[in-house]
Amino acid sequence: MNNPLFDISEVSVGQHLYWQLGDYQVHGQVLLTSWLVFTIIISLSFLANRDLKDIPEGLQNLTEYITEFIRDLAKTQIGEKEYFSWVPFLGTIFLFIFVSNWSGALIPWRLIELPNGELAAPTNDINTTVALALLTSLAYFYAGLQKKGLGYFKRYIQPAAFLLPINILEDFTKPLSLSFRLFGNILADELVVGVLIALVPLIVPIPLMLLGLFTSAIQALVFATLAGAYIGESLEDHH
Protein backbone atom coordinates (compact mmCIF):
# COMPACT_ATOMS: atom_id res chain seq x y z
CA MET A 1 0.00 0.00 0.00
CA ASN A 2 1.34 3.42 -0.93
CA ASN A 3 1.97 5.88 1.84
CA PRO A 4 -0.18 9.04 1.31
CA LEU A 5 2.72 11.21 2.48
CA PHE A 6 4.89 9.80 -0.30
CA ASP A 7 2.14 10.57 -2.81
CA ILE A 8 2.01 14.18 -1.64
CA SER A 9 5.80 14.53 -1.88
CA GLU A 10 5.62 13.41 -5.52
CA VAL A 11 3.65 16.53 -6.51
CA SER A 12 5.89 18.25 -9.06
CA VAL A 13 5.88 20.31 -12.22
CA GLY A 14 8.22 19.56 -15.13
CA GLN A 15 10.85 16.87 -15.46
CA HIS A 16 13.13 15.93 -12.59
CA LEU A 17 16.48 14.27 -12.10
CA TYR A 18 16.10 11.59 -9.46
CA TRP A 19 18.81 10.14 -7.23
CA GLN A 20 18.26 6.78 -5.59
CA LEU A 21 19.22 6.80 -1.90
CA GLY A 22 18.45 3.37 -0.51
CA ASP A 23 14.71 2.85 -0.80
CA TYR A 24 14.01 6.52 -1.50
CA GLN A 25 14.16 8.75 -4.52
CA VAL A 26 15.11 12.42 -4.13
CA HIS A 27 14.99 15.28 -6.61
CA GLY A 28 18.66 15.59 -7.53
CA GLN A 29 18.34 18.94 -9.25
CA VAL A 30 16.81 20.50 -6.13
CA LEU A 31 19.80 19.39 -4.09
CA LEU A 32 22.21 20.72 -6.74
CA THR A 33 20.64 24.16 -6.83
CA SER A 34 20.21 24.24 -3.03
CA TRP A 35 23.93 23.50 -2.59
CA LEU A 36 24.68 26.35 -4.98
CA VAL A 37 22.50 28.70 -2.91
CA PHE A 38 24.27 27.61 0.30
CA THR A 39 27.63 28.12 -1.40
CA ILE A 40 26.69 31.65 -2.47
CA ILE A 41 25.48 32.61 1.02
CA ILE A 42 28.50 31.09 2.81
CA SER A 43 30.99 32.57 0.33
CA LEU A 44 29.55 36.09 0.58
CA SER A 45 29.46 35.84 4.39
CA PHE A 46 33.09 34.69 4.50
CA LEU A 47 34.32 37.34 2.07
CA ALA A 48 32.44 40.11 3.86
CA ASN A 49 33.51 39.21 7.39
CA ARG A 50 37.04 37.87 7.07
CA ASP A 51 38.53 41.33 7.69
CA LEU A 52 36.10 43.24 9.87
CA LYS A 53 36.57 46.99 10.17
CA ASP A 54 35.20 49.50 12.66
CA ILE A 55 33.79 51.52 9.79
CA PRO A 56 32.17 48.95 7.46
CA GLU A 57 32.58 49.21 3.74
CA GLY A 58 31.83 47.10 0.70
CA LEU A 59 30.42 43.64 1.42
CA GLN A 60 30.76 44.11 5.16
CA ASN A 61 28.43 47.10 4.90
CA LEU A 62 25.94 44.94 2.98
CA THR A 63 26.01 42.07 5.48
CA GLU A 64 25.63 44.44 8.43
CA TYR A 65 22.66 46.10 6.74
CA ILE A 66 21.04 42.69 6.17
CA THR A 67 21.71 41.72 9.80
CA GLU A 68 20.13 44.93 11.08
CA PHE A 69 17.16 44.47 8.75
CA ILE A 70 16.50 40.94 9.99
CA ARG A 71 17.02 42.00 13.61
CA ASP A 72 14.45 44.79 13.21
CA LEU A 73 12.03 42.37 11.54
CA ALA A 74 12.40 39.88 14.42
CA LYS A 75 11.99 42.63 17.02
CA THR A 76 8.81 43.88 15.35
CA GLN A 77 7.20 40.46 15.01
CA ILE A 78 8.39 38.71 18.19
CA GLY A 79 8.93 41.53 20.66
CA GLU A 80 11.92 43.23 22.26
CA LYS A 81 12.26 40.77 25.16
CA GLU A 82 12.60 37.52 23.20
CA TYR A 83 13.44 38.38 19.62
CA PHE A 84 17.25 38.11 19.77
CA SER A 85 17.50 34.31 19.99
CA TRP A 86 15.31 33.98 16.88
CA VAL A 87 17.34 36.28 14.63
CA PRO A 88 19.54 33.41 13.29
CA PHE A 89 16.51 31.30 12.39
CA LEU A 90 14.61 34.09 10.65
CA GLY A 91 17.81 35.27 8.98
CA THR A 92 18.57 31.82 7.60
CA ILE A 93 15.02 31.38 6.31
CA PHE A 94 15.01 34.83 4.70
CA LEU A 95 18.45 34.51 3.05
CA PHE A 96 17.83 31.02 1.70
CA ILE A 97 14.49 31.98 0.15
CA PHE A 98 15.81 35.32 -1.12
CA VAL A 99 18.89 33.85 -2.82
CA SER A 100 16.90 30.88 -4.12
CA ASN A 101 14.25 33.13 -5.64
CA TRP A 102 16.81 35.45 -7.22
CA SER A 103 18.74 32.49 -8.61
CA GLY A 104 15.57 31.47 -10.45
CA ALA A 105 15.14 34.99 -11.83
CA LEU A 106 18.78 35.64 -12.79
CA ILE A 107 20.35 32.28 -13.67
CA PRO A 108 19.24 30.65 -16.95
CA TRP A 109 18.86 27.22 -15.38
CA ARG A 110 17.12 25.72 -18.38
CA LEU A 111 20.19 26.28 -20.56
CA ILE A 112 22.11 23.77 -18.43
CA GLU A 113 21.37 20.33 -19.81
CA LEU A 114 21.03 17.32 -17.53
CA PRO A 115 20.82 13.61 -18.46
CA ASN A 116 17.23 13.78 -17.28
CA GLY A 117 15.13 16.64 -15.94
CA GLU A 118 15.86 20.35 -15.75
CA LEU A 119 17.30 22.77 -13.23
CA ALA A 120 15.24 25.42 -11.46
CA ALA A 121 15.30 27.48 -8.29
CA PRO A 122 14.99 25.35 -5.10
CA THR A 123 11.81 27.23 -4.16
CA ASN A 124 10.31 26.17 -7.50
CA ASP A 125 9.84 22.71 -5.94
CA ILE A 126 6.93 22.05 -3.60
CA ASN A 127 9.05 19.75 -1.43
CA THR A 128 11.41 22.63 -0.61
CA THR A 129 8.65 25.07 0.32
CA VAL A 130 6.82 22.45 2.40
CA ALA A 131 10.06 21.67 4.26
CA LEU A 132 10.56 25.38 5.02
CA ALA A 133 6.96 25.69 6.20
CA LEU A 134 7.28 22.62 8.46
CA LEU A 135 10.50 24.03 9.94
CA THR A 136 8.56 27.19 10.74
CA SER A 137 5.80 25.14 12.39
CA LEU A 138 8.35 23.25 14.50
CA ALA A 139 9.95 26.57 15.45
CA TYR A 140 6.80 28.17 16.83
CA PHE A 141 5.75 24.98 18.64
CA TYR A 142 9.23 24.80 20.18
CA ALA A 143 9.08 28.48 21.17
CA GLY A 144 5.70 28.05 22.87
CA LEU A 145 6.60 24.83 24.67
CA GLN A 146 9.97 26.19 25.80
CA LYS A 147 8.36 29.22 27.40
CA LYS A 148 5.08 27.82 28.72
CA GLY A 149 5.56 24.06 28.91
CA LEU A 150 2.39 22.03 28.47
CA GLY A 151 0.45 25.16 29.38
CA TYR A 152 1.10 26.25 25.79
CA PHE A 153 -1.78 24.02 24.67
CA LYS A 154 -4.26 26.14 26.64
CA ARG A 155 -4.24 28.44 23.62
CA TYR A 156 -6.40 25.91 21.78
CA ILE A 157 -9.32 26.49 24.12
CA GLN A 158 -9.02 30.27 24.29
CA PRO A 159 -11.00 32.43 24.35
CA ALA A 160 -13.62 29.63 24.50
CA ALA A 161 -13.41 25.82 24.57
CA PHE A 162 -15.74 25.37 21.58
CA LEU A 163 -13.04 26.99 19.39
CA LEU A 164 -10.78 23.95 19.88
CA PRO A 165 -11.37 22.47 16.37
CA ILE A 166 -10.85 25.85 14.68
CA ASN A 167 -7.64 26.54 16.60
CA ILE A 168 -6.27 23.09 15.72
CA LEU A 169 -7.22 23.56 12.07
CA GLU A 170 -5.40 26.89 12.07
CA ASP A 171 -2.11 25.15 12.88
CA PHE A 172 -2.61 22.89 9.86
CA THR A 173 -3.43 25.74 7.50
CA LYS A 174 -0.40 27.85 8.45
CA PRO A 175 2.23 25.59 6.82
CA LEU A 176 -0.08 24.93 3.87
CA SER A 177 -0.53 28.63 3.12
CA LEU A 178 3.20 29.34 3.63
CA SER A 179 4.36 26.57 1.32
CA PHE A 180 1.83 26.94 -1.49
CA ARG A 181 2.04 30.74 -1.59
CA LEU A 182 5.82 30.65 -2.06
CA PHE A 183 5.77 27.71 -4.48
CA GLY A 184 2.95 29.12 -6.60
CA ASN A 185 4.44 32.58 -6.97
CA ILE A 186 7.94 31.41 -7.87
CA LEU A 187 6.68 28.73 -10.27
CA ALA A 188 4.33 31.18 -12.01
CA ASP A 189 7.07 33.79 -12.39
CA GLU A 190 9.55 31.32 -13.91
CA LEU A 191 6.94 29.88 -16.27
CA VAL A 192 5.84 33.30 -17.55
CA VAL A 193 9.40 34.49 -18.12
CA GLY A 194 10.36 31.17 -19.74
CA VAL A 195 7.44 31.32 -22.19
CA LEU A 196 8.11 34.97 -23.11
CA ILE A 197 11.81 34.31 -23.66
CA ALA A 198 10.88 31.44 -25.99
CA LEU A 199 8.36 33.55 -27.91
CA VAL A 200 10.01 36.99 -27.83
CA PRO A 201 13.65 36.51 -26.84
CA LEU A 202 14.68 40.17 -26.91
CA ILE A 203 13.66 43.22 -24.85
CA VAL A 204 10.10 42.19 -23.89
CA PRO A 205 11.03 39.70 -21.10
CA ILE A 206 13.43 42.17 -19.42
CA PRO A 207 10.76 44.24 -17.58
CA LEU A 208 9.13 41.02 -16.39
CA MET A 209 12.47 39.71 -15.18
CA LEU A 210 12.98 42.93 -13.20
CA LEU A 211 9.47 42.55 -11.80
CA GLY A 212 10.35 38.95 -10.96
CA LEU A 213 13.33 40.14 -8.91
CA PHE A 214 11.05 42.48 -6.97
CA THR A 215 8.34 39.89 -6.33
CA SER A 216 10.98 37.28 -5.39
CA ALA A 217 12.33 39.61 -2.71
CA ILE A 218 8.80 40.33 -1.49
CA GLN A 219 8.05 36.60 -1.20
CA ALA A 220 11.15 36.07 0.94
CA LEU A 221 10.13 39.00 3.15
CA VAL A 222 6.53 37.76 3.46
CA PHE A 223 7.65 34.26 4.45
CA ALA A 224 10.13 35.53 7.07
CA THR A 225 7.62 38.05 8.42
CA LEU A 226 4.90 35.43 8.82
CA ALA A 227 7.36 33.02 10.43
CA GLY A 228 8.29 35.72 12.94
CA ALA A 229 4.62 36.57 13.54
CA TYR A 230 3.77 32.91 14.26
CA ILE A 231 6.69 32.60 16.69
CA GLY A 232 5.68 35.86 18.38
CA GLU A 233 2.09 34.62 18.66
CA SER A 234 3.22 31.40 20.36
CA LEU A 235 5.32 33.38 22.86
CA GLU A 236 2.75 36.00 23.83
CA ASP A 237 0.82 35.60 27.05
CA HIS A 238 -2.88 34.82 26.79
CA HIS A 239 -5.18 36.02 29.51
Which pLDDT tens digit goes with each residue over 35-87?
Answer: 999 999 999 888 888 877 777 777 888 888 999 999 999 999 998 888 889 99
Which CA distances in Å does 15 have to 120, 125, 161? 10, 11, 48
Q: Report residue 203's pLDDT band, with 50, 70 and 90 as the boundaries.
A: low
Q: Report residue 5's pLDDT band, with 50, 70 and 90 as the boundaries.
A: very low
Over residues 199-212, mean pLDDT: 68
What is the H or E stretch that residue 134 is in?
helix 126-148
Summary mean pLDDT of the chain: 81
pTM of the model: 0.83
Over residues 95-120, mean pLDDT: 79
* Structural domain range at position 61: 4-235
pLDDT, tens only, 126-150: 889 999 999 999 999 998 888 888 8
Task: Please check whether residue 117 is in contact with residue 17, taking contact to mean a CB–CB distance below 8 angstroms.
Answer: yes
pLDDT, tens only, 10-26: 444 556 677 777 777 77
Strands, E assignment, the chain: 18-21, 24-27
Q: What total of structural domains would you count in the chain?
A: 1
Q: Is the pLDDT of residue 113 over 50?
A: yes
